[in-house]
Structure 1
Amino acid sequence: MFIEARNAIGLYIGLPNKQTPPSFHEVPSLASDRFKRMGYDVQSVQQLMAHTDERVTQSYQAGHDIDYEEISIYLDRQAIGREF
């Protein structure tokens, strides 16, 4: 049902070719990180996300340290050796 709702509101619009739209868990993960950056403590975010363990909330908040940056390097079909 999440995929149907996501597609209905257009969360995938504007993505570069072959880039996948956000998954169910990527959406609250990014929100959790943003709450952390806004200064909310982990217990408050944990309660909001209905996690029973603080470590789960912390794992959702991890991995957002590097901001997305589009780069121009890529492997073409010849370098890969075949098409996917």
Structure 2
Amino acid sequence: MDMLHTVLRRQANGGSIEQSQPDLIIPTGRRKGQNPSISSIYRALAEHAKREAYPEAVEQAHADFAALNSERFPGPAPKQRP
């Protein structure tokens, strides 16, 4: 999230994504220590905009996912033998 906030802050001050990209470093994972691609930054910004525009939908999706993974829905029902 720090990378996203950095990009958003720089955009608010008139900077571009292309200008910000060389300064961003991926903190974890397979590409740790590398710069994110421009397309990855745009995807993160699009996802952020979606979360900002529809916060209730995002919360509901998280709640639905948690319910699916809870004890209420333990998994597929065993097959019935004829």
Q: TM-score range by the shorter chain?
A: 0.3 to 0.5
Higher helix share: 2
Answer 1 or 2: higher relative contact order, Cα 8 Å, separation at least 6. Answer: 1
- The TM-score with structure 1 as length reference comes to 0.36
Q: Which has the larger radius of gyration?
A: 2
